[in-house]
Structure 1
Amino acid sequence: MERLAKGIIHHRRIVMALVIALLIASAFFLIGVDINYKLSDYLPESAPSTGSIDVMEEHFAQGIPNLNVLVPDVSIMEALEYKERFLNLEGVYDVMWLDDTVDLKVPIEQQEEETVESWYKDGDALFRVSVETEQVYDNVEAVRQEAKEGSKLSGEAANEAAVQQASTDEISKILMYVIPLVLVVLLITTSSWFEPVLFLVTIGAAILINEGTNIIFGEISYVTQATSAILQLAVSMDYAIFLLHRFLRYREEGQPIEKAMQHAMVSSVSAITASATTTVFGFLALTLMDFRIGVDLGRVLAKGVFISYLSVVILLPILTIYTAKLIDKTHHRSFIPSFDRFAKGVMAICKPLAILLILVILPSFFAQQNNTFIYGSSGMHTEGSQIKEESDAIKEQFGQAQQMAILLPIGDEAREKDFVDELETIEYITSVTAYANTVGTQIPYEFVTDPSVDQLRSEEYSRVIITANTSDEGERAFETVEAIRETADQYYEESYHLVGESVINYDLMDTITADHGKVTFAAIIGIGLVIALTFRSLSLPIILILTIQGAIWINLGLPYIRGMDLNFIGYQIISAVQLGATVDYGILFGETYMQRRTFLEKRESIQQTISETAPSIITPAGILIIAGNALGVISSNGVISQLGMILGRGALISVTMVLLFLPALLLVFDGLIQKTTFSGKKKGTMKNETSE
């Protein structure tokens, strides 16, 4: 590392030019990174609905309705006019309304009331529209503009359009709030007014390079787009803080600028590497998910942490050398108070406090296993958002309605008719539209002239449109999907294809549920190995991971205790992210304790460790808390908002566990740690040096 450090410093102008060129290229490449807003695209190839969607798109030009449009206070004739206007819009290929179900030549008073009121009620008309999904935002907005003022939209296409708009508008807004708040934290916790600028420039450059190099993936998910920059900033800032503080210490010893930076780079690189590696392993665990949104987020975040690491060990030294005199001129006294009294207080009550926390951890473990989850697009929007309010208004007026389509192989009209008849008997199914019960099995398809029948037949498949009185997910919706599949299995074994939003959500539930255990296990094993190698200890990794895992259980148990539904994407991601992002706090504490333990008694070692490491732990934790809560408060996307709030709360719980629970564990298991640790006194590392 010494030769590399000398090379970077000696050739700093060339290195700086290369970094600037890379930043310019990354800004250019960033424009070409596509954003995917469809959760269904991240289902594994083995999921039943994945293949079914492909088959339907291949054999039918028109999909099932994906947009509900409520037009208020219209007559029958006016509603028919709106239907025609919607049909004439580019990007709209079908509109279904009451006239597709009943003969409007017969007065509606003489029609079946339940059928009429599913389309037209109290002067409000509900249209089920099929829009192209390639330009979904433009198509949904075109329908909204064409509809009467006061109209309301819901459905899969409306959800996706709202997510696109929110993601585009809110990312810059979130950064506008996060950066000044992080700057305040850094100003308080550093010793120079200019240091925070160096930190933000260093990590900011890494973020831009990471975002631009996402071009290698072609596209990323909207979840990754909205969270990766904020998370990268929050979890990698402490690398920069440590290196610069080490540099300033050597400067205080009287070393010249270049020599001080060279020594800082050499003495800190191993500790920064270990710290970054634990975070990378936490994020890489997400790539084991079958639900590929985890793969998408995990690889981008792991790449981002690695780029932040490179930026800290390459770019920050150069920037620091160029601005060293400015750092000296803007030096100020420390604003962080002493934690000596806090440390004494913790030591006085740490054992009873640990017992209390154990009593909290145990029920939290079981609580987090019994959370109620949201799997699909219904969890995308926060309370109070326009799309949420409009969706609720449509449900209140017309009830819940989900449409699905099932493709059946043609050639046996009698079997198809029997199958359709049995579908109509399934609870919650309100209507079934098929060739067999509209045209009839007696009329060959070749003799039918009505073009609308093309929606129900292709050369290979007969398409059955099913409407169910359920939401897009939940117990009733999933029971209905299971009942349809069971019935189809009886008639067609595995030769049918079922699609629909609730079908996709059912497959999401199956996929994500299976993912959780292996992701958590992989993160624990990977991070545990890094800690074991760092400390050369068998017991310390278990103690440190147990501390953070306890914080995760408390964090994820709170939604159950509060009676809140939890978006499973956030739940799945947070387990690996919180462990990878906050285990550094435990490593910092454990490493400082082990060094103090070589020449102090265990109680005094722990007390000194608390006093010395608390400021170093609170700084990155404070940044993560701010970043998480900014996501939670600002984002109108339910997935992003909940992920942010849980992550911010998790950082707070993690730092609390490290400062209050970990001391008791070290006190109780000190003997075991000493017997199962196989190294002597190690060189000063990142965690110790930051705290000293």
Structure 2
Amino acid sequence: MRIDFMNNTKNNAADTFMMKLASFIVNKRAAFLVFFTIACIYCITCISKVEIINELTEYLPESAQTKQGIDIMDSEFTTLGSAKILVANITYEKALLLSKEIKNIDGISSVKFYDRDDKDYDKKEISDYYKDASALFTLTFDEAEDTPLSQKAIASVRKLLSDYDAYVYTTVDKDDAASLKNDMKLILVLVAFIILMVLLFTSNTYMEILIFLIVFVVSAILNIGTNFIFKNVSFVTNAVATVLQLAMSIDYAIIYFHRFTEERQHLDSTHAAKLALSKAIIEISSSSLTTISGMLALMLMQFRIGMDMGRVLTKAIVLSMLTVFLLMPALIILFSKAIDKTRHKSFVPSIKLWGKLVVNTRFIVLPIFAAALIGGYIFSSRVSYIYDVNSIKSEKKTEYIKSKERIDKTFKNSNVMAVIVPKEDYSKEAQLIKSLEENIPEIESVTGMSNIKVGANEEYTLVDSLNPREFAEIADMDLDQMKLLFKFYVAENGQYGALLKNIDDYRIPIISLIDFIHEQKEKRAFELSDDISKDIDKIYNDVSDARKQLEGEKYSRIIFLLNTPVEGTESFASADRVKETVSKYYNESYVVGDVTSNEELSTSFKTDNVKISILTALFVGMVLLFTFQSAGLPFMLILTIQGSIWINFSIPYLSGSNLFFLSYLIVSAIQMGATIDYAIVITGRYLELRKTMPDKKEAAIEALNQGFPTIITSGTIMVCSGFLIGKITSNATIASLGKTLGMGAMISIILVMSVLPQILIVFDKLIDLSHFVKGGKTDEDFETQE
């Protein structure tokens, strides 16, 4: 009796507090209306302040070598724009003429193509440039890809190629953000239509649909607008956050409005809104905790895209709750007369026949589910993951991906990689380059300051040291004049001892003498003929361009081509051999490229995968433990949803396809956190009905019938939203995420509406025995009463 009294006292205290809070919110509804109006206007103005990050490498851990190398490259080097262009159905002669036309475009620095008249192609194969009536041109721009000159140049290139069957593979004018934005506009329109149709089907009054839409739009605007507090968000989060927010939080508005409808039958609208809110706050808050738990697990990922998405979606859930709690009561009272006038018969059918089928097949379905559970675990653990966004297969492809696939189909693939090392002497760099070329057969070519060729026959490199005669020959200058320049160089650098020796034997690095001659010429320290002056300027400008790309203030960059795929065991092994070779010459080094980026993503995925799975289940389990006050129920609910996750991720293995690693990490957390609510709805109804219904089978049937409208509403929206994203967007990352989420949500709904009620019936006694506080009744209780 004492325990019951204490529990009743606590419940009464909680009810009193919630009623006071609800009364305050409803009484101040006009103020909240004004507040949300101002907040929406402010958030709309803040949307443009949010920077969108389009590169997943930005979210690598700070300790990742690729991330550190990219940061150094961004600060120290200029990366010129580049492009690969395949022109199909063209003769070699016409392709050669076309390459020269492209080269003449302002802003294009060079065009690589096979020309029999060029001396530097004597060791090249024509099949690398022309094959199967297709020509491959490799373009280098004069400036970085984001400059006006480069943008104008690529536009001119596209205009020139407009009459050809051309495939342009470049990031110079690639605008994923604009393309994705257009895709998401269409997706949001279609999702809004789906929401409207679903709400029309499940509603009891037409006015509730307008109220729901207002609440959804306001909460979405608040979430998007407040993203500026993070300064930037990823393109993944920016694209799908709004859709996921609606799908995950639609239950909140439905729960509150259904509570209001129940209370409105015997109270006026104001008092009904207060009483309904006092009950809904606890119910909605408890429901949201499972979803937030999944997001918290995401935020603990080593790969920081999890933090990005997790914090935005956590904020979305909180803002959705606050909008329901603070704005929706005002809207309900404001439109109370319209709500009463627009009531209609519910279109949601009774599914008691389905419930009976579920109950009667439990001894058939549960063994099948157990087998599917084991199989799903085994098969999902064998899935082959991919880490490069360009390797994802999507139904709708961008021009960028189409061009890449077309080029890879005809010509062998090669990846541009870079080695970043401290800026030291050129001889060490030359030794490293030689070692890379000789010891790693997968490397096609290596370019660094120490191996750039000069001279009429390219017999020297920029870092070679020459005497006056050799330098005079490659510069086409008078020998006596060159000797004077050498003496001037020696004197300016304070090397007076060399003046006492024969200057003919003195050697100066080519790059150092070019810098010196150009510097003195600019100071007008000596006069050169116009022809020689122009030659010196040209050589100096070429060297300066090379320096911008290969030599920074503290670091040097060596660029090489690796003829392996962008990911896979072979590619990762090649990258590791490069790292090992570089480490023999430098204590500090960074190997950067798609291969190393994907290798580090692979490494972090293995850690994040285990972390997400364990933490999500742990967080959700703790919420369920306190929600149901039972040790057995959380295990049953998590097993059902985890089973749906395993089954979902076994599909790629069974279909022989690859799965993008990010889809697994994000969807597994969202699927567990969001769809566990469906299981809570059925379980909560079942436990409530078991208090008054002697037959557990009848309780399960009625629980399914009562929970169906809520589950079908939010579930349909999540499933349709996921599949729409996967079908419509051309961004492969978003498409993979959407398709995987849609399939996962659908499987979760199926299991919750079929397997979960069977588990509850079969383990009914265990549920009662594992309760911390006895509240339910078993069959024996009812028999005793009778």
The two structures have a TM-score, normalised by structure 1, of: 0.91
**Residues 298-309 of structure 1 correspond to what in structure 2 (within 5 A)?**
298-309=310-321
1:64 Cα deviation from its structure 2 partner: 6.8
1:77 Cα deviation from its structure 2 partner: 4.9
CA 21–419 in structure 1, closer or farther in 2 if over 3 Å, else same: same
**Residues 119-518 of structure 1 correspond to what in structure 2 (within 5 A)?**
119=129, 122=133, 124-129=135-140, 135=146, 143-147=154-158, 148-149=161-162, 150=164, 151-154=166-169, 161-252=174-265, 254-379=266-391, 382-385=394-397, 386-411=399-424, 413-424=426-437, 425-439=439-453, 440=461, 442-443=464-465, 444=509, 445-448=511-514, 449=540, 450-451=542-543, 452-454=545-547, 455-458=549-552, 460-492=554-586, 494-518=587-611
- For 1:91, the equivalent position in structure 2 comes to none
CA 57–180 in structure 1, closer or farther in 2 if over 3 Å, else same: closer
One-letter amino acid matched to 2:756? L
Greater CA deviation, 414-423 or 554-563?
Answer: 414-423
Instruction: State the alpha-carbon separation in 1 of the partners of residues 97 and 553 from structure 2.
Output: 36
Instruction: State the alpha-carbon separation in 1 of the partners of residues 771 and 375 from structure 2.
Output: 32
Instruction: State the alpha-carbon separation in 2 of the partners of residues 129 and 539 from structure 1.
Output: 65
CA 446–551 in structure 1, closer or farther in 2 if over 3 Å, else same: same
1:543 Cα deviation from its structure 2 partner: 0.9
Instruction: State the alpha-carbon separation in 2 of the partners of residues 624 and 286 from structure 1.
Output: 19
- For 1:647, the equivalent position in structure 2 comes to 741
Instruction: State the alpha-carbon separation in 2 of the partners of residues 453 and 612 from structure 1.
Output: 72
Instruction: State the alpha-carbon separation in 1 of the partners of residues 311 and 208 from structure 2.
Output: 30
Secondary structure (helix, strand or coil) at the match of 1:282 reads helix
Instruction: State the alpha-carbon separation in 2 of the partners of residues 152 and 277 from structure 1.
Output: 49
CA 135–246 in structure 1, closer or farther in 2 if over 3 Å, else same: farther
Secondary structure (helix, strand or coil) at the match of 1:491 reads coil
Instruction: State the alpha-carbon separation in 1 of the partners of residues 148 and 259 from structure 2.
Output: 50
Greater CA deviation, 306-315 or 370-379?
Answer: 370-379
Q: Contact (CA 8 Å) 1:83, 1:127: kept in 2 or not?
A: no
Greater CA deviation, 620-629 or 416-425?
Answer: 416-425
Residue 604 (1) aligns with residue 624 (2): no
One-letter amino acid matched to 1:339? I
List runs of 5+ in structure 2 lacking aligned partners.
1-17, 454-460, 466-508, 515-539, 777-786
Residue 577 (1) aligns with residue 663 (2): no
1:223 Cα deviation from its structure 2 partner: 0.3
Residue 679 (1) aligns with residue 691 (2): no
- For 1:685, the equivalent position in structure 2 comes to none
Secondary structure (helix, strand or coil) at the match of 2:361 reads helix
- For 1:688, the equivalent position in structure 2 comes to none
| Bigger Rg, structure 1 or 2 | 2
- For 1:534, the equivalent position in structure 2 comes to 627
- For 2:481, the equivalent position in structure 1 comes to none
**Residues 35-54 of structure 1 correspond to what in structure 2 (within 5 A)?**
35-54=52-71
Secondary structure (helix, strand or coil) at the match of 1:46 reads coil
Deviations 1:71-116 (A, max 9, x none): 564443541341342635xxxxx656248xx9954496xx2342x5
CA 278–95 in structure 1, closer or farther in 2 if over 3 Å, else same: farther
Instruction: State the alpha-carbon separation in 2 of the partners of residues 383 and 345 from structure 1.
Output: 37
1:256 Cα deviation from its structure 2 partner: 0.6
Secondary structure (helix, strand or coil) at the match of 2:733 reads helix
Secondary structure (helix, strand or coil) at the match of 1:335 reads coil
CA 156–48 in structure 1, closer or farther in 2 if over 3 Å, else same: farther
Instruction: State the alpha-carbon separation in 2 of the partners of residues 317 and 630 from structure 1.
Output: 32
Residue 6 (1) aligns with residue 6 (2): no
CA 630–140 in structure 1, closer or farther in 2 if over 3 Å, else same: farther
Secondary structure (helix, strand or coil) at the match of 1:318 reads helix
One-letter amino acid matched to 1:540? L
Identity of aligned residues (%): 32
- For 1:567, the equivalent position in structure 2 comes to 660
1:665 Cα deviation from its structure 2 partner: 2.0
- For 2:84, the equivalent position in structure 1 comes to 68
Deviations 1:369-418 (A, max 9, x none): 22122212314673452222211112223221111111234545554444
Instruction: State the alpha-carbon separation in 2 of the partners of residues 410 and 133 from structure 1.
Output: 22
Instruction: State the alpha-carbon separation in 1 of the partners of residues 379 and 364 from structure 2.
Output: 23
CA 275–466 in structure 1, closer or farther in 2 if over 3 Å, else same: same
Q: Contact (CA 8 Å) 1:67, 1:155: kept in 2 or not?
A: yes
One-letter amino acid matched to 2:444? T
Of the candidates 657, 661, 666, which is equivalent to residue 760 of structure 2? 666
- For 1:27, the equivalent position in structure 2 comes to 44
Q: Contact (CA 8 Å) 1:383, 1:389: kept in 2 or not?
A: no
Secondary structure (helix, strand or coil) at the match of 1:31 reads helix
Instruction: State the alpha-carbon separation in 2 of the partners of residues 461 and 340 from structure 1.
Output: 72
Q: CA RMSD in A?
A: 2.5
Instruction: State the alpha-carbon separation in 2 of the partners of residues 133 and 537 from structure 1.
Output: 62
- For 1:686, the equivalent position in structure 2 comes to none
CA 262–461 in structure 1, closer or farther in 2 if over 3 Å, else same: closer
Secondary structure (helix, strand or coil) at the match of 1:336 reads coil
One-letter amino acid matched to 2:157? E
CA 204–290 in structure 1, closer or farther in 2 if over 3 Å, else same: same
Deviations 1:405-456 (A, max 9, x none): 1123454555444432332232322222234444446333413544154244
1:631 Cα deviation from its structure 2 partner: 0.9
1:660 Cα deviation from its structure 2 partner: 1.6
One-letter amino acid matched to 1:428? E
Q: Contact (CA 8 Å) 1:236, 1:308: kept in 2 or not?
A: yes
Deviations 1:564-584 (A, max 9, x none): 111111111000001111000
Instruction: State the alpha-carbon separation in 1 of the partners of residues 575 and 106 from structure 2.
Output: 30
One-letter amino acid matched to 1:298? G
Q: Contact (CA 8 Å) 1:144, 1:153: kept in 2 or not?
A: no
Deviations 1:446-487 (A, max 9, x none): 135441542444454443221111232233332221221122
Instruction: State the alpha-carbon separation in 1 of the partners of residues 142 and 392 from structure 2.
Output: 20
Secondary structure (helix, strand or coil) at the match of 1:220 reads strand
Q: Contact (CA 8 Å) 2:107, 2:143: kept in 1 or not?
A: no
Secondary structure (helix, strand or coil) at the match of 2:585 reads helix
One-letter amino acid matched to 2:140? V
1:232 Cα deviation from its structure 2 partner: 0.4
- For 2:638, the equivalent position in structure 1 comes to 545
Q: Contact (CA 8 Å) 2:143, 2:149: kept in 1 or not?
A: no
1:155 Cα deviation from its structure 2 partner: 5.1
The two structures have a TM-score, normalised by structure 2, of: 0.80
Instruction: State the alpha-carbon separation in 2 of the partners of residues 84 and 402 from structure 1.
Output: 27
List runs of 5+ in structure 1 lacking aligned partners.
89-93, 683-692
Greater CA deviation, 496-505 or 431-440?
Answer: 431-440
CA 75–32 in structure 1, closer or farther in 2 if over 3 Å, else same: same
Q: Contact (CA 8 Å) 2:96, 2:113: kept in 1 or not?
A: no
Q: Contact (CA 8 Å) 1:69, 1:129: kept in 2 or not?
A: no
